[in-house]
Amino acid sequence: MPRIIRVLSLMIIVPALLLAACGEDTPDDGRLRVVATIAPVGALAHAVAGDTIRLNVLVKAGVDPHEYEVNAADSRTIANAQVILRNDLGVDAFLDKALKNNKGTLVTLTDGLTLREAPEEDEGKDPHVWHDPRNDIAMVDAILKALSAAAPEHAATFEANARQYQDRLRAVDIEVKAIIDTIPAANRKMVTDHDAFGYFTARYGLTVIGTVIPGTSTSAEPSAAEIAALVQAIRREGVRAIFAESSVDPKVAKRVAEETNIRIVDDLYGDSLGAPGSGAETVDGMLLSNARKIAEALR
């Protein structure tokens, strides 16, 4: 390659690499600045807006939101956001502390949804709404409304994307039901890591016999008595598999699986989504991925 061309191509490549490396600290490019708290919320926002907005998802794939704390970079991103999309109900409570300097519009996507009660150990409502596609369809509407108000010049694009994605979610709802229906009725019993699948099991006719970690958060530790009771319930109900999650340490779940001599599936998506390229980095892909793993283990 002639030297002059090499120098010229470096002049193009190097700044491009620097920009890519800087990520969220790159200068304002005029796009709407949107923050999503957790991976499912971020994926729904991406489905509506694509690259039309500058989307920052605080909790990345594979990270447990219940344990998350905002860092200094997150605080800057939040303070600078024009729209903040949150799930609420405790799963993204880390946001609350960082909100005092924010001037952007705060949108709570679970407002107006029909919510499950949290189990006895917890107070309030179960936050894991995204495991029922009907909730995702409603949340897409809320995102569409908020983004269209904040960036009306892109409203037509948002609307077209939202309607297309809602059609996709309706199709996935039917597909997941068909997959779960292949499990014999007597086998539709699950033990999960924490109580993240109430909306999913209610929608598709499965029963959660027990959870390894008590409650809808991941921060509690099971006592020896709780583990013993779970082992007993698994034996009594003939549960065929324990489902641990991609974002939770499966240590205790593994112990229970060994003790009861049943199978463990350790990569269900409870609070997180798959890494980019996994096929489960979208909400529809995550729902299908979970359904296939559950059906395969319980059939």
Nearer to Zn ion, 28 or 69 (CB): 69
Span interacting with Zn ion, options 13-21, 170-178, 240-248, 270-278, rule CB under 5 A: 270-278
With CB under 5 A as the contact rule, the residue among 88, 173, 271, 284 that binds Zn ion is 271
The CB-of-117 to Zn ion minimum distance in angstroms stands at 15
Shortest reach from residue 111's CB to Zn ion, in Å: 19
Nearer to Zn ion, 74 or 271 (CB): 271
- In the complex with Zn ion, which residue's Cβ is closer, 155 or 202? 202
Site string for Zn ion, 97-126 (x = CB under 5 A): ------------------------------
**Nearer residue to Zn ion within complex by CB, 32 or 283:** 283
268-298 burial, b if ≥16 CB within 10 A, otherwise e?
bbbbbbbeeebebbbbbbbbbbbbebbbebb
Binding string, 186-205, against Zn ion, x = CB under 5 A? ----------x---------
Q: Which stretch binds Zn ion (CB under 5 A): 146-154, 185-193, 265-273, 287-295?
A: 265-273
Nearest approach, Cβ of residue 252 and Zn ion (Å): 16
Rounded to an integer, what distance in angstroms lies between the CA atom of residue 123 and that of residue 107?
Answer: 23
Task: Please give the Cα distance from 270 to 253 (Å, whole number).
Answer: 14
Residues at the contact surface with Zn ion, assessed by CB under 5 A: 196, 271
